[in-house]
Structure 1
Amino acid sequence: MQRDMGKGRDALVVCSDKSLGIGITIWDVDTGDHLLHIPTCASPSHGLLCLRKQFLVASQIHRQGSVGGGAIFIWALNKPQLPLRSYPVEAIVPLSCTKDGIYLAGGALSGNAYLWEIASGRLLKTWHAHDKSLNCLLFSNDDSLLISGSNDGMICVWSVISLLDTGDSGSLPSLLHYSSEHRSSVTGLLNTSGSSSSVLVSSSLDGTCKVWDFVSGRLIQTQVYPVAITAIVLDPGEQLLFCGSVDGRIFVNRLDIGLLEDPFFVAQAQPVVLKEHNGAITALAFSESGLISASEDCTICMWDVVNWVIIRKFSHRKGAVTNMTVIPQSSLLSVSNRQRVSNQLHVSMLDKYPQPINSSKGKITLPSSCCSLKEKQIYLDFRSTDSLNQHISDFQKDGTPAAMQMKVETCIENRIWASRMTKHVMEMNKHLQSRLLDLMQCRLLWPTEIDTPSSRKRKMLKIESPLLQGEEEPQSST
C-alpha cells in the first residue's frame, strides 16, 4: 500500500449507507489501484469528512429496525483498523468540522444540532436548529459561522461565538439570519474561499441552486434546472459550478456573480451537460486530476474538465456511494514513515451529554446508568495512547448486533430518566417559586410582625405602656 504513495498523490475515499459490513474503500486516484479497505461503516450523505488530513470521521445510522441507533466513528489514517466509537444521544446525519480541527458539528434527524470539542470530546452545545431533519452543515472559511440546511428547505446561519458560550448550557445560540427561498430539501452547501469569501451556494431538490451573501443573508442569484439537484461542487478556481442531478446528469455553469444586486435574477445561459451515470448523482469532488462523480448506479467517474471526457472509472459493486472525499495518500503512511509534526491532533470519545465545565480536561467517567459493572470501573485519560487503544479494543469486542441493540435500549432508558429528572426539577422550581411568593406576600401584609429583636422590644413596650402612663397597678387584698 505504501510503495507508491509519493508526495502530492491523491487518494479517493468512498463509503455507502447500505450496510455496516461494506465499510470504506480507498483507491489511488491516478492509477485506480485499491489501497485500503476499512471495515464497519455505513454513513449517510454528508456524514463523512477528513479531519486535518489525519483522521476520518463518519456518522453511522443503523437500519436494523432501530430509529435511535447511531454512532460517530473516528479512524486514525495512519492506523485505521480500530476506530474510536462514540454514541450520541440520537442518530447524527451530517457532519462538519472547523478548518483547524478543533470543533465538530453534527445534525440529527430530529432537527437538533450538536457541537463538540474534538480534543476533549466535550459536548459544548445542543440546540433545536430546524423543525425537520438536518441534511447539510458547513463552517465558513474563517470558522466564525455555522450554516445548516434542512429537509424543510430552510437555511440558517449561526454565530460560532454564541455556540461556544458554555456559561448557560440551555441558552439558545445567536441566529444571524435564515432563508426559506428553497421549496424543498437542501442537498448541498458550498462556501467560496477567494476574495468573496462570504459567498454561499446552496442546492435543493426543487431544481435550483442559489447564491447568497451569507453574512447579510442577501440572495444574489438563482440558477434553475429541469430536475432536482442532489450534489454540488466548485472547481478549484471557483469559476465553474458543477451540479449533479437526480437523473444522473451533471450541469456545468459559470459562477459569474459579478456585481449583481437583483435578488430575482435567474441565470439563463445554457450549461454544459455531462452524461454517463444511469442513477442519481450522490456526491461530487475535485482532485488534482479532475472532477470525480459518484452515483447510485455504483460507479465513480473521473472527468477531464477541459475536454469533458471520462479519464477513469471505478466500480463500487458493494453499493451506491453516499459519501466521497479526496485525501493525500501521504496521510495513510504510518507516523514512523513520515515526518512527525508538532501540531499532531488529539481526539477523544465524544460526550453523550454535556459535562460540568470544571470537569477534568481530557478525561471522562462513563455514566453509571448506561454502563455495565465492568465499564463503570473504567476511567480513561484519552491523551494516553495505551488507554485509548485498550478502550477501542473493548468497543471492538462489543460491536455485535446484540451489543448495539443493548446500547440503543440503554440510550432510550437514559432519555426517559433525563425526562423524569427534568420534570422533577421543574416541580421543585415551581414549589420554590410558590414559597418565595408566599414569603413576599407575608412581608408586604405584615411588615411589623416579623420576629426580630426590635419587634420583640416594641411588643414589650406596648404591654408595659399602662404603667408608663402613670396608671396604678391594682393592689391585691391580703
Structure 2
Amino acid sequence: MEALVVCGDKSLGAGITIWDMEKGEQLLHIPTCASPPHGLILLGDHFIVASQVHKHGSFGGGAVFIWPLNKPQVPIRSYPIEAIVPLSCTKDAIYLAGGAPSGNVYVWEVTSGKMLRTWRGHQKSLNCLSFSSDDSLLISGSDDGEIRIWSMISLLDVADHDSMPSFFHSLLEHSASITGLLSTSGSSNSVLVSSSFDGTCKVWDMISGRLLGTQVFTQSITAITHDPGEQLLFSGSTDGRIFVNSLDIGLGDNSVISDNHLMVLSGHMEPITALSFSTSRLCLVSASEDCTVCLWNVKSWVVTRRFVHKKGQITNLVVIPRSLLLPVVEGHQRFNCQSRLSLLDKYPQPATTSQETITHLPTYCSLEDHLSKIGFRSTDVIKQQILELEQGRTPCALQMKVETSVENRLWATKMTKHITDMNKHLRSRLLDLIRCRLILSRKLEFFSSEKKKKAKINSSSSPSRE
C-alpha cells in the first residue's frame, strides 16, 4: 500500500498533504510548506525534505525543512546562505544536493549537516538536479537549457576542495529551460533522459555525452517520468496532455521523432506540473495546475481516482510506501542510517586532520573502463593494473580503502556505545550499593540506639527490685 505526498508553492499555509492512494482519504497534513518545482523529495525511507521560498517569485532568501514521516514534530529548519530550489539525494541517503537561482550547487552530508562542496555550476538559475542510478554522477539542468554532468568522486575529493570542479560533460542541445532529468538503471549505456520547454525530450549516453535520440512534441514539456521497467516514457505538457512513448525509440541513431503517432492521455485542464509512478498499484500519477492529481490505470489508460487539492495548485508529488507513516516500535531499527539529523551548514567547513570526516564514495566506473571491450589482455597490462591497485592509484582501490575506513569507524562507534552502556550500568550498580549501605547503616544505628535505651531502662529499674 502506498501514500501520495503533494505540495504547492503559492502559499506557506497550504503545506503538505498526504493521501491514502487505495482509499482516497487524507492521512496527514503538514502545515507551513511552499516548495518550488523539484523542491520536494523523499530522503531515504523516513524523511521528507522540502526547499522553501519565503516569498513567491522572490529568491532572495529561503530555507530547507526536514520532517520525519513516522513521528510528527516540528521540522528541522536550515537556512542556507541563499534560496534553494531543486533538491536531490542519493539512494543511500548519505548526500543531499541543492541548486540555487544564482547557478550555485551545494552538496551536504546528511547526518552531520556538513557542507562538503559548493561551486558555481551554471550561469543561469538551476531548475533540476538528479543523481545517476548508481549515485556516481550528479546531473544539473539550468534555465538556459544547459545540462552538466559532474563526477561525485571529483566533488568529494578533499585535496581538490578549494578549486573549481570541472564538469564531466556539458550537454547543449536544448534551447530552453530544463524541466526534467531521468537516469535509467537497467541500461548498460547509462542513459539520461531530459525534457525542456523547447518541446523536446532527448536521450543521452552519460558516459560519452553523445545524443542518442530526440522526441519532438507540439507543446512544451513540463514533467517526465518512466515506468519501473524503464520501457515507457511519460511526458506532461503545458496543455494538460500526457504523451506516452517507448523509451528505446531511436536509441543510438540520433534520430528525431514527432508525436504524431503517440498515445495521449487527456485528464487535466491545466499544465502538468509533476509525474510519478506507483509500483504497487501499477498506475501513473499526474499532478496539474488545475489543483488535481489523477491515477491512471496502465492497462486501460483511464483515470481510476482523482484527488482535489483544495489548498491550491500542485508543484511536487512523491509516492511513498504507507508503512513509512507508521511509528517505529521501541527496540526495533527500521532504517539503515542514523535517524538523527543536523542543521545544514551555511558555508563549507575547512577539513582539518583532527576533524576530517571519512566520506563514503559511490561505486565509480571510469570512461576507459566503460568503453573498453571484453577480451584478452597482455601480462604486462595485468601486472600494471595489479601494481596500481596495490599502490592505491585507482578508483577501486580508493573505494576499498574508504569502505574499510567506514567499517572501522562504525566498529569504533559501536564499541564506544557498548562501553558507554557498560559504564552507565556500573554507575547504576554502584549507586544501588551505596544506597543499600546507607540503609544498612541507618538500620544498625537504629538497632544500636534501641539497645542502649533498653540497657538504660534495665539499669534504672534494678534498685527498685532490690
Shorter-chain TM-score above 0.5 = yes
Residues 123, 348 of structure 1: alpha-carbon distance in 2 compared, 3 angstrom cutoff: same
**1:60-459 alignment runs, 5 A limit:** 60-63=52-55, 67-196=59-188, 198-257=190-249, 260-266=251-257, 270-287=261-278, 288-289=280-281, 290-336=283-329, 339-341=332-334, 343-345=336-338, 346-358=340-352
Shift in Å at residue 101 of structure 1?
A: 0.5
Equivalent of residue 9 in structure 2, options 17, 24, 36:
17
List per-residue Cα deviations over 1:227-270 (Å, max 9, x = no partner): 00000010111111110000100011111247x43224435661
Q: What amino acid maps onto 2:268 in structure 1?
A: H
SS in 1 for 2:285: strand
SS in 1 for 2:73: strand
Shift in Å at residue 73 of structure 1?
A: 0.4
Report the RMSD for the aligned CA atoms in angstroms. 1.8
Counterpart residue number, 2:39: 47
Instruction: Give, in whole Å, the separation in 1 of the partners of 2:56 and 2:207.
Output: 42
SS in 1 for 2:37: coil
Residues 238, 65 of structure 1: alpha-carbon distance in 2 compared, 3 angstrom cutoff: closer
Instruction: Give, in whole Å, the separation in 2 of the partners of 1:243 and 1:118.
Output: 32
Shift in Å at residue 344 of structure 1?
A: 3.5
Q: What amino acid maps onto 1:245 in structure 2?
A: S
Instruction: Give, in whole Å, the separation in 1 of the partners of 2:244 and 2:204.
Output: 19
List per-residue Cα deviations over 1:126-157 (Å, max 9, x = no partner): 11111110010010111110000110000000
Residues 220 and 265 in structure 1, CA contact (< 8 A), matched pair in contact too: no
Shift in Å at residue 197 of structure 1?
A: 5.7
- For structure 1, the residue ranges without an aligned partner over 5 or more in a row are 1-8, 363-478
Residues 109 and 133 in structure 1, CA contact (< 8 A), matched pair in contact too: yes
Instruction: Give, in whole Å, the separation in 2 of the partners of 1:130 and 1:216.
Output: 21
Residues 13, 197 of structure 1: alpha-carbon distance in 2 compared, 3 angstrom cutoff: farther
Count of equivalent residues = 353
Instruction: Give, in whole Å, the separation in 1 of the partners of 2:332 and 2:97.
Output: 30
List per-residue Cα deviations over 1:302-342 (Å, max 9, x = no partner): 01111111100000011110000011111111112794236
Shift in Å at residue 276 of structure 1?
A: 1.2
Instruction: Give, in whole Å, the separation in 1 of the partners of 2:260 and 2:135.
Output: 34
Shift in Å at residue 173 of structure 1?
A: 1.7
Residues 228 and 245 in structure 1, CA contact (< 8 A), matched pair in contact too: yes
Residues 225, 155 of structure 1: alpha-carbon distance in 2 compared, 3 angstrom cutoff: same
Residues 196, 270 of structure 1: alpha-carbon distance in 2 compared, 3 angstrom cutoff: farther
Q: What amino acid maps onto 1:270 in structure 2?
A: H
Overall identity of the aligned pairs, in % = 64
Q: What amino acid maps onto 2:91 in structure 1?
A: K
Residues 39 and 81 in structure 1, CA contact (< 8 A), matched pair in contact too: no
TM-score, normalization by structure 2: 0.73
Residues 141 and 197 in structure 1, CA contact (< 8 A), matched pair in contact too: no
SS in 2 for 1:331: helix
Instruction: Give, in whole Å, the separation in 2 of the partners of 1:344 and 1:129.
Output: 29
Residues 241 and 268 in structure 2, CA contact (< 8 A), matched pair in contact too: yes
Instruction: Give, in whole Å, the separation in 2 of the partners of 1:339 and 1:119.
Output: 20
SS in 2 for 1:68: strand
Counterpart residue number, 2:407: none
Instruction: Give, in whole Å, the separation in 1 of the partners of 2:242 and 2:5.
Output: 21
Q: What amino acid maps onto 1:47 in structure 2?
A: G
Residues 361, 50 of structure 1: alpha-carbon distance in 2 compared, 3 angstrom cutoff: farther
Residues 125 and 166 in structure 1, CA contact (< 8 A), matched pair in contact too: no
Counterpart residue number, 1:406: none
TM-score, normalization by structure 1: 0.71
SS in 2 for 1:167: helix
Residues 198 and 221 in structure 2, CA contact (< 8 A), matched pair in contact too: yes
Q: What amino acid maps onto 2:350 in structure 1?
A: P
SS in 1 for 2:153: helix
Residues 65, 95 of structure 1: alpha-carbon distance in 2 compared, 3 angstrom cutoff: closer
Instruction: Give, in whole Å, the separation in 1 of the partners of 2:148 and 2:356.
Output: 32
Shift in Å at residue 107 of structure 1?
A: 0.3
Instruction: Give, in whole Å, the separation in 2 of the partners of 1:148 and 1:66.
Output: 21
Q: What amino acid maps onto 2:295 in structure 1?
A: M
Q: What amino acid maps onto 1:331 in structure 2?
A: L
Residues 238 and 255 in structure 1, CA contact (< 8 A), matched pair in contact too: yes
Shift in Å at residue 68 of structure 1?
A: 1.7
Instruction: Give, in whole Å, the separation in 1 of the partners of 2:206 and 2:273.
Output: 25
Instruction: Give, in whole Å, the separation in 1 of the partners of 2:60 and 2:303.
Output: 41
Residues 65, 227 of structure 1: alpha-carbon distance in 2 compared, 3 angstrom cutoff: closer
Instruction: Give, in whole Å, the separation in 2 of the partners of 1:162 and 1:14.
Output: 34
**Could you tell which deviates more after superposition, 171-180 or 110-119?**
171-180
Name segments (4+ residues, structure 1) moved above 4 Å. Answer: 359-362
SS in 2 for 1:100: coil
Residues 27 and 36 in structure 1, CA contact (< 8 A), matched pair in contact too: yes
Instruction: Give, in whole Å, the separation in 1 of the partners of 2:112 and 2:198.
Output: 40
SS in 1 for 2:60: coil
Counterpart residue number, 1:450: none
Instruction: Give, in whole Å, the separation in 2 of the partners of 1:130 and 1:344.
Output: 32
Residues 312, 197 of structure 1: alpha-carbon distance in 2 compared, 3 angstrom cutoff: farther
Instruction: Give, in whole Å, the separation in 1 of the partners of 2:286 and 2:30.
Output: 21
Residues 218 and 259 in structure 2, CA contact (< 8 A), matched pair in contact too: no
